[in-house]
Amino acid sequence: MINLPRGTQDILPGESEKWQFIEQKFIELCHTYNYKEVRTPIFEHTELFQRGVGDTTDIVQREMYTFEDRGGRSITLRPEGTASVTRAFVQHKLHGSANQPQKLFYIGPMFRYERPQQGRMRQFVQFGVEALGSSDPAIDAEVISLAMSFYRSLGLKSLRLVLNSLGDQESRQKHRTALINHFKPYQAELCSDCQLRLEQNPLRVLDCKKDRDHIAMQNAPKILDYLNEESAQYFEQVKQYLAVMGVDYVVDPNLVRGLDYYNHTAFEIMSDAEGFGAITTLTGGGRYNGLVEDLGGPSTPGIGFAFSAERLLMALAAEGIDLPIDQALDCYLIAIGKDAERKSVELTHQLRSEGVQADKDYLSRKMKGQLKAADRQKAKFVIILGDQELEQEAAIIKNMGTGAQEVVKFDQLIRYIKQSL
Ligand code: HAM
């Protein structure tokens, strides 16, 4: 037997309906907010993520599925969606479109070579949005509220929106210098990753799991104290717009995010539900005003978020929320005898042509077995055909909900079922 690779999963019937439900809900909500779908390839040139996500991130340094294709090109299975969407934005010159900002959403599998655990997969499905072309703080609030509305619409309650600002280039530079000065005396005591991070990307030291309890972490310089006037004002306005929409948040000056492209607004939505597990982040997102330019386009602001379906479904389970999924089958046809069998094929086909969900027996089961099968499929109606019924050009229709039974002529059958459903 060959099993699936570690960190992946099969989504079987019974479970796949939940996926379809959340996908459909997300698409509907994106349309309500006027976001349009974009679909990009599952693999890209490796360089896209090196430049887009950042050379010093965990993702690029050790989590990418990178391989050489037969043409000798370095290819990577996408670890996230923002770099790809931005690449498409630049490549197709969407910045030249009359529709600005470009408000895009996507749903698709992403790949990261991580240590698998509950809520951390090697293949996972991200739902995300990206709004490119506006630096109005109202769009930051819009993007955040879209995520929150989506979770609320599914019934999630134990949510915490955590907000921070990473400031603009100037603010970040000042903070960077302060971080280096602060951590330098402790450099030898930090983990080997952080020793490197201190040189390359000191902000990421704040996010280190190993050094979390180091004494130097406690009073490390906070980015919010280094925001220049403009950045501070921007952050203030984002918070005001969130208040206007009634979206609650907490500010956490230690929220830094794991990807390099962020500036200004950074946010995560966490689940506080008991039993959700060690990983509490449901959604991560933020502003990335330099990314379009880094990928060869004109200077264009952008903001977005992504969450995985896997973590969302975990959160729903942790809060005991059952999605309203109708597993029932409209009708199941039962036939006894060769002629009835032939007629049931014809009727099943006719019902389906009329948009009625129908199924029948294909295992030549006895009457009792077919009834059992109809029951297992949660059939709303059972249509029974025997020799006697055939002679009368009719079938017995049993309403499985009420138990009521009626003989209905073949030429009335479809109308009868459609009216009863
Ligand atoms: P991220 O924080 O790396 O950001 O991932 C966003 C979300 O993807 C996480 O909050 C989590 O729900 C899900 N996720 C990440 N890794 C895994 C995994 N191994 N297994 C299951 N779920 C996972 C980004 O990817 C950015 N592109 C988000 C963004 C969009 N920022 C701006 N626009």
From the CA of 116, give the closest atom in ligand 1: 19
Rounded Cα–Cα distance for residues 303 and 286 (Å): 5
Q: How far is the CA of 41 from the centre of ligand 1 (A)?
A: 17
pLDDT of amino acid 241: 98
Q: With 0.85 as the threshold, say if the pTM is over it.
A: yes
Residue nearest to atom 15 of ligand 1 (CA): 308
Residue matched to tokens 């969130």: 242
Residue nearest to atom 21 of ligand 1 (CA): 120
Q: How far is the CA of 114 from the centre of ligand 1 (A)?
A: 12
Q: Which domains does the chain have, with CATH numbers?
A: 16-168+228-318 (3.30.930.10), 331-420 (3.40.50.800)
Handedness of CA 341, 346, 347, 348 (dihedral sign): positive
Peptide bond into 137 cis (omega under 30): no
Q: How far is the CA of 258 from the centre of ligand 1 (A)?
A: 9
Kindly write down the DSSP assignment for every residue of 223-270, as one continuous string.
GGGG--HHHHHHHHHHHHHHHHTT---EE-TT---SSTT-EEEEEEEE
**Angle 302-271-37 from CA coordinates, rounded to 5°:** 35
Burial 377-399 (b: 16+ CB within 10 A, else e): bebbbbbbbbeebbeeebbbbbe
Residue matched to tokens 């929409």: 245
Rounded Cα–Cα distance for residues 198 and 333 (Å): 70
Q: How far is the CA of 152 from the centre of ligand 1 (A)?
A: 19
Average pLDDT, the chain: 95
Q: How far is the CA of 147 from the centre of ligand 1 (A)?
A: 13
Helix runs in 56-214, H state only:
58, 82-91, 137-153, 169-183, 192-200
114 lines ligand 1 (CB under 6 A): yes
Rounded Cα–Cα distance for residues 398 and 103 (Å): 50
Which pair of structure tokens corresponds to residue 386?
Answer: 């025997």
pLDDT of amino acid 393: 95
SS3 state at 409: strand
Which pair of structure tokens corresponds to residue 405?
Answer: 């039974």
Best CA proximity match to 418, nearest among 343, 356, 352 = 356
Best CA proximity match to 77, nearest among 45, 55, 52 = 45
pLDDT of amino acid 167: 96
139 lines ligand 1 (CB under 6 A): no
Residue matched to tokens 């951390």: 120
Q: How far is the CA of 298 from the centre of ligand 1 (A)?
A: 26
Q: How far is the CA of 136 from the centre of ligand 1 (A)?
A: 24
Instruction: Select from 48, 308, 310, 313 the residue to mutate for testing ligand 1; criterion: most ligand atoms less than 8 Å from CB.
Output: 308
Residues 6 or more apart in contact with residue 33 via CB below 8 angstroms: 103, 129, 142, 146
Spell out, as residue ranges, where the chain has pLDDT lower than 50. none
| CB 301, CB 95: distance < 8 Å | no
CA distances to 195, 226, 247, 339, 382 from 167, in Å: 24, 8, 22, 76, 64
pLDDT of amino acid 260: 85
| CB 382, CB 352: distance < 8 Å | no
304 lines ligand 1 (CB under 6 A): yes
From the CA of 285, give the closest atom in ligand 1: 31
Strands 123-132 and 102-111, by their bridges, are antiparallel
